[in-house]
Copies of this chain bind each other. A is one copy, B any other.
Amino acid sequence: MQDPRPQLHRRLEEILASDEIRSLDLIDLLGRHRPEDVAAVMAGFPPPERDRILAHLGPEETGVVLEEADDATRLGMLDVLRPETLARALDEMGPDEGADIIELLPERDAAQVLARVEDDQAAAIRRLQAFDPDTAGGQMTTEFVRLGEQHTAREAIGAIQGAVDAEMVNSLYVVDADGVLKGVVSLRDLITAPPERPVRDFMSRDVVFCSTGMDQEEVARLADRYNVAAIPVVDDHHRLQGVITHDDILDVVQEEAEEDLLRLAGTAPTSPTREPVLRQAGKRLPWLLTTMAGGVVLSLILDRNEAMIHRQVEIAFFMPFLAGMGGNVGLQTSTTLVRAMATGELGTTRLSRVVAGQVGVGALIGTICGAVAALAATAMDVPRGIGLVVGIAMVSGVTTATFLASVLPLALRRAGADPALAAGPLLTTINDITTLTIYFSIAGALLQDG
């Protein structure tokens, strides 16, 4: 399938650039494209042109464009949409996506818009707003078909035929008279079952489910582990509250992967094409504070060892080499562990064994790198003792770096924080300081009389 977006973007530019009002052309062009693609190209147009595009979309398309646009573009569109237009779009959206949109509005605007939304939908949105957006409750939709245990296959099919708004009808969840989740049937089970048979007789009782408060990352892991396209969400009394569908699960996986990656690189999410330079720099600077503070500390450590460096200036030659290796091996270690935690691999293994294993790997790598460093130093014709110091410092520095890089993420996780926070610049900074401290201690001990 060819990417339709570049052409859509070009045609929109042409139509919007012309002096005449070409509403029919615009409606025709937008009608021939998916609203997801319209959402994607929206970002490339300045606000007044976005308004003209929005004015030519129906409420359903407006809803999809709002759902699918990136954050900055979405906020821009919300600024200009009239409350009536927005309310009509919200009527057409899933209540979960609707709640996400309402969340973005200032409180007064939100109330104004919700007052104009259809009663059922407004009530559903208000209920969803009670949940933390990063939990199953915040991600679930409440538009789904709920079957009673006693319903026959024929009645169940009738219920689906009547449920025009339901997002997800491929897995149908079965509840008892109290709304407690009892089982699941697939639409295919329904059409192959004898019409008069009650669903309780052929439903599967073994349902993969989650509770409203479960972290969204955990939900995505469940879906991945059991290869299900949707997961029902229950409250504390096991009553069915909603369903999380495959598209939300995919979004969560993408979002969490992005979060890990950016934390590792020590930055907040920024958009290189849609945010002004000043805001991009502002978002990155706080993350650089540890590196800056670490840099100052490193300078102070060197300042304190001034006399030694002055006596044997060759000591300074190998500082960046040592810091670089410690940083990189540490980053490898912590990233491997953060991934293993994300995939659940560490689940049942004793943590001391994990740390011991990683330190073993580090010691082995450190020994090899130490030999390389000592050889390089010797080849460079620096004073005899320095090669030895560099080699020993490399072995101990790299080994210590792997130790810190495995203990830190595990400790953060135990403290309930995100282990990925320990994998990025914070770790590199700590490792830089540790490695150079080790280096100068060894140099001080072995080269006293240098």
Contact = CB atoms under 8 A, between A and B. Distances in A.
Interface of A: 1, 3, 5-6, 9, 34, 36-37, 40-41, 44, 68, 70, 157, 160-161, 169-170, 187-188, 191-192, 206, 208-211, 222-227, 229, 246-247, 249-251, 253-254, 257-258, 260-262, 264-267, 269-274, 277-278, 280-281, 284-285, 287-288, 291-292, 294-296, 298-300, 302-303, 306, 309-310, 313-314, 316-325, 327-329, 331-332, 334-337, 339-340, 343-349, 353-354, 357-358, 360-361, 364-365, 368-369, 372-373, 376-377, 380, 382, 423, 425, 428-429, 432, 436
A393 B249 CA distance: 46
Q: Which 4 A-B pairs have the closest CB atoms?
A: A295-B321, A257-B257, A265-B335, A227-B247
Nearest to A284: B332
Contacts of A223: 250
Nearest to A347: B5
B5 A331 contact: no
A345 B364 CA distance: 42
A380 B250 contact: no
A46 to B, nearest CB: 15
Nearest to A376: B296
A360 B320 contact: no
A182 to B, nearest CB: 15
13 contacts: A34-B206, A170-B187, A253-B253, A261-B335, A266-B331, A272-B357, A273-B345, A291-B328, A296-B321, A296-B376, A299-B321, A302-B316, A316-B316
A121 to B, nearest CB: 20
A229 B246 CA distance: 7
B277 A299 contact: no
A334 B265 CA distance: 9
Contacts of A320: 295, 298-299, 302, 319-320, 323, 432, 436
A428 B328 contact: yes
Contacts of A44: 348
Contacts of A291: 324-325, 328
Nearest to A166: B188
Given A272-B337, A310-B313, 14 more contacts: A1-B211, A257-B261, A261-B261, A265-B334, A266-B328, A272-B345, A277-B357, A280-B361, A284-B361, A287-B332, A294-B324, A299-B321, A320-B320, A324-B429
Nearest to A291: B328
Given A257-B257, A320-B295, A288 B191 contact: no
A336 B325 CA distance: 24
Contacts of A380: 299-300, 303
Contact of A360 (B208, B277, B335): B277
Nearest to A360: B277
A250 B265 contact: no
A348 B36 contact: no
A141 B368 CA distance: 46
A248 to B, nearest CB: 9
Contacts of A250: 223-224, 246, 249-250, 253
Contacts of A272: 336-337, 340, 345-346, 354, 357-358
A345 B257 CA distance: 17
Contacts of A429: 324
Contacts of A309: 313, 316
B261 A329 contact: no
Given A227-B36, A425-B328, A365 B285 contact: yes
A29 to B, nearest CB: 15
A372 to B, nearest CB: 6
A236 B191 CA distance: 35
A34 B260 contact: no
